[in-house]
Chain A
Amino acid sequence: MAAVGLRARDLSYWRRRWTNRLMAGLTMLSALLVLAPLFFVLFFLMRTGLGAINLEFFTALPGPAGEAGGGMANAIAGTLILIALAGVLGIPLGVLGGVFLAEFPNTRLSQTTRFTADVMAGIPSIVMGLFAYILVVLPLRHFSALAGGVALGVMLVPTVVRTTEEIVRLVPQSVREASLALGIPQWKTTLRVIIPTAAAGIVTGIMVGLARIAGETAPLLFTAFGNRFWNWNLFKPIAALPLQIFAYAISPFEDWHRQAWAGALVLVTLVLVVNVAARYTAGRQVRLR
């Protein structure tokens, strides 16, 4: 009797141990499956994109439809202009808002802003495009770089607000107390002590936010609109790298497909470099603390 009971217990123990191993294996398998697309995307970007990248790609305007050659110089410049516009609109608002959340964390305004920022970050980018269209394109009566900048700027705010808040909160209380003990007013403490201490982290957060909006396409479709030529006028339609990738990807031309891959490679390289760099600096900050 006792022996049978023991064997049954052995069996159940054996089964539980193997269930444990099986589930551990399954979760590891799911990690591999989830990461596989990342490597597939990067692999195909390299394979097709690298071959299409040359000097012309960075210096020339798009060629006539269906003909080989031409580049995305204006689109790259356009994306930089749009990012700059978005930054001018979104960074001051985001940073100051984030500082408020960190310095006065429990006021009703902070709670409201924190919650709305999180919800706003989840609004589809195409809806942000509609907003910028109504706000800028309708009154001015035509598509413009400015409208694109507004769309991207609005999208930038929630990210910057939340990362700034998190970073400013990391500044040790003792730093603030040291400054206040010297008789320095609170506002000066915030401006001259707290923000400079957190500056590296805030800049990192901003860079990640900018890298993310650099790849946005949907909000630019009916704001920046795209342009096949150079444009430095903020009140005129302007080209953007993601728009150009989209237009070329759905075109029927072989050479444009190659250029779309090249453009995507440039875009992804930018995004990855910024993210990896942010990871590195953030890691160093944590170590320093």
Chain B
Amino acid sequence: MAARPKIPFHWSFLLVAALIPLVELILPGEHHIGDLLRPIFIMALLGLGLNILTGFTGILNLGVAAFMAVGAYSYAILTCDIYPFRLGFWCATLVTVLVGLAVGFFLGLPTIRLRGDYLAIVTLAFGEIVEDVLKNLDSITKGTEGINPLPAPSVFGYQFRPETYQPWYYLFLGFLALVVLINRNLHRSRIGRAWISIREDELASSCMGINPMKAKLLAFALGAAQCSLAGALWASYLGSSGEPGNYDFQVSIIALCMVIVGGMGNIGGVLLGALVITGFNSIVLETLTDFLKAHQLISSSNVFTAPGNWKYMLYGLALILMMRFRPEGLLPSRQLKAELHHQEPPVPPAS
């Protein structure tokens, strides 16, 4: 076994992220890497929520975008001024997390007994249902327009402004650090141990006194709560609930990509996955497009030449390559690596 690094990846990731805006301030010239990192933090939260389900407990969930939509719309309804609630940032975020918790719980209650693929299909259907409901519940969700504008959050008396990105940056980073801390604590406690034992062998686990339904339900509710937190922050970042189409199946798949590419069951891996997948989309592809346009290598009339239009194909390709060459992800958890590169178990001598 290789010596483990002294500082786990997720802490170094958060530390470096915390320093980036400061470095940008010191360096001369215009930089906006920190600006581009904000959506990555939110997507990382989504990935961490999914990681509890898929990475720790082994439940495939194809509908996390729906939880994110629930979060975004709850936050929007609670803060916007066309409805009477008009809660402050903290209060609205807290209520949103509780709503996500309840939605995950009540979705899990009747369905959690389904195994593997069947549960994945249920979550897929749930994602579609939520999107359709949001589109058609015109009088509350404003249909395809979405609820906007939302007031910018005001935290401890400080009013956030769209022009300065640093306060947003640290707000999102703070939430991310909090969720990372909670997930790490749970992972290394009896709760995480029970989740992993269910992933490995549900029957043996229940024979040792674990109630798999309870453990899975907790994972479901908690994953949903984190995804809806991501939704709330996303809504506050956009200043709008976004339209229902923003939370479609592709978002769920991107979240799944982040978890798989980064390393299932490993918190640091999910952060890296979010950085690679979302960063690829919003930094590499954008820069490439700008570069190509500047040198007049592509024309806007031909859609095939714009790199941005190839992104889903590239995601798919990345997924295929990962599955073939590195199924445990870029930064695997020690356990899962062993699981996927499974050696034959010791064979009992013939008796």
Question: Does chain A bind chain B?
Answer: no
